[in-house]
Amino acid sequence: MYLRKLLSLPRTLAFRLALWYALIFTISSFVAFLVFHLVISSALRDRTDQELLTEVTELSSHLALKGLDAVELDIVQDAESTGVTRMFLRVLTPGGEELVSSNMSSWTDILVSDNALKRLMSGSNNVFDTLNNPRRGHSVRILYGIIGPDRIVQIGKSLEDDERFMMAFRERFLMLMAGLMVLGGLIGWFMARRALSGIEEVSRTAEDISKGSIESRVSLKARGAELERLVTTFNTMLDRIHSLMCGMREMTDNIAHDLKSPVTRIRGIAEMTLTSGNSLDEYHSMAANTIEECDRLLTMIDTMLDISELEAGAGNLAMDEVDIARVVEDACELFQPLAEDKGLTIIAELPTNCWVYGDVQRLQRMVANLLDNAVKYTPTEGTVTVSVNGDEDQVFLSVNDTGIGISEEDLANIFERFYRCDPSRSETGVGLGLSLVMAIAHSHGGDVGASSYPGKGSIFTISLPRKPISQPVFCSNITKW
């Protein structure tokens, strides 16, 4: 288990991030080291050169004022005060012949460079040279300078101290860098783990959910805007899936419940006819009842499928210019006999024509469902008023009745599938009519709203756009009267 975890470590994002972090850290430190090295070594070199040049200037003025003997004393003293192993001075003729010098016992390997003398003679004031003699173990900085007529001084200074200093600098810096690299890797690892902890929690939650605990959510701790957005989106998605699952479960329960009643009725009719029915008439009546129940069942299943298709945007709408005033007028005529039977008055307040863009059959079903409800839930001597009006962009269709009304609590649920308010249980219906109305309105880019006053009546309003829409709207507008 641990071995597997260890082997998969290089594949983890945290490990790679830590590695990158350490690498970038190392490269930056190395560049910083190079820059420091260059700056310090050139500062040291400048300082040495400056010292040698000062020496030449001093010797030159001493030679002019006091002569060669005084210069000899000077160079011996200067070499001794610095250390005869660290510095030498000698005065030469332009041909390279030595006139006077400090103690040269430690500098026997240092010769006079003909090239440097030639350059001096050809006009250069000072000539610098660096000798790297491996036997000596350190470099020597040499300056040839003119201190008087036919007098040249050769000064050499050991760079041992500077080189030792640079070596110590290099060693310390490299040691520090190695330590910093390890530290950088560890800090990188820690930071990457911390930054990715949110993602790990998201995948842990996803794992929990796949094991069945659908209620799990990722906690929203302060982890940076990006991760907080991911966590919020993830949790919102889970909430949505959860509510969809609950909705589906509820719908399945409802379907099972609503399918059970007609099937039980069909079975009851068949059983009764089998046990007690003898005559052909009874068998005929059983067959007729069975067909009636089956038709109800099929209508219910068709409506459910229609709603699902429309909601999923797969309703295959046959879109065209539709005169909605004509559709409403036809529907009113269709429901007139039913209304008359119940002693209701249907009033249609319609313009001569009113064009919308839609599927005529779906719009007919929508209007029919609203009228059916208004007639069904309005007692004798009531009135159902249907009106159509609109503006440049939208058409408004309203069905207003003086019926039993809907309580505020029910009003919030009437557009849900299979929802039926208690006072209307005595009427036929399965609670799918308004869901279909809403699905049709939304699929046309419109909306549906309802307001009601219990005991006095209800108004259902549909708004439809006149022009074709690119995306359907999925919301509804429910208000209390």
Taking CA atoms, 394 is separated from 388, 389, 391, in Å, by 11, 9, 5
Within a 10 A sphere around the Cβ of 249, how many other Cβ atoms?
A: 10
The reply to whether 357 sits near ligand ADP by the rule CB under 6 A is no
Q: Least distance in Å: CB of 453 to ligand ADP?
A: 11
The reply to whether 384 sits near ligand ADP by the rule CB under 6 A is no
Q: Which one of residues 156, 188, 262, 431 is an interface residue with ligand ADP (CB under 6 A)?
A: 431
Nearer to ligand ADP, 429 or 472 (CB): 429
Query: Quick check: 348 and 386 in contact, CB under 8 A?
Result: yes
* Nearest to 351, CA basis, from 397, 282, 316, 318: 397
Give the 3-state secondary structure of residue 330.
helix
The reply to whether 374 sits near ligand ADP by the rule CB under 6 A is yes
* β-sheet bridge partners, residue 179: none
The reply to whether 366 sits near ligand ADP by the rule CB under 6 A is no
Q: Which one of residues 458, 461, 464, 465 is an interface residue with ligand ADP (CB under 6 A)?
A: 458
Query: Quick check: 257 and 249 in contact, CB under 8 A?
Result: no
* Nearest to 14, CA basis, from 244, 196, 287: 196
Nearer to ligand ADP, 184 or 433 (CB): 433
Q: Least distance in Å: CB of 306 to ligand ADP?
A: 13
Query: Quick check: 357 and 322 in contact, CB under 8 A?
Result: yes
CA distance 259 to 250: 14
The reply to whether 420 sits near ligand ADP by the rule CB under 6 A is yes
The reply to whether 296 sits near ligand ADP by the rule CB under 6 A is no
Q: Which one of residues 429, 453, 466, 469 is an interface residue with ligand ADP (CB under 6 A)?
A: 429
Nearer to ligand ADP, 355 or 481 (CB): 481
Nearer to ligand ADP, 55 or 401 (CB): 401
Q: Which one of residues 258, 293, 359, 401 is an interface residue with ligand ADP (CB under 6 A)?
A: 401
Query: Quick check: 362 and 443 in contact, CB under 8 A?
Result: yes
The reply to whether 430 sits near ligand ADP by the rule CB under 6 A is yes
Q: Which one of residues 424, 443, 451, 463 is an interface residue with ligand ADP (CB under 6 A)?
A: 424
Within a 10 A sphere around the Cβ of 397, how many other Cβ atoms?
A: 28
CA distance 398 to 452: 13
* Residue ranges that bind ligand ADP, judged by CB under 6 A: 369, 373-374, 377, 401, 403-406, 414, 419-421, 424, 429-435, 458
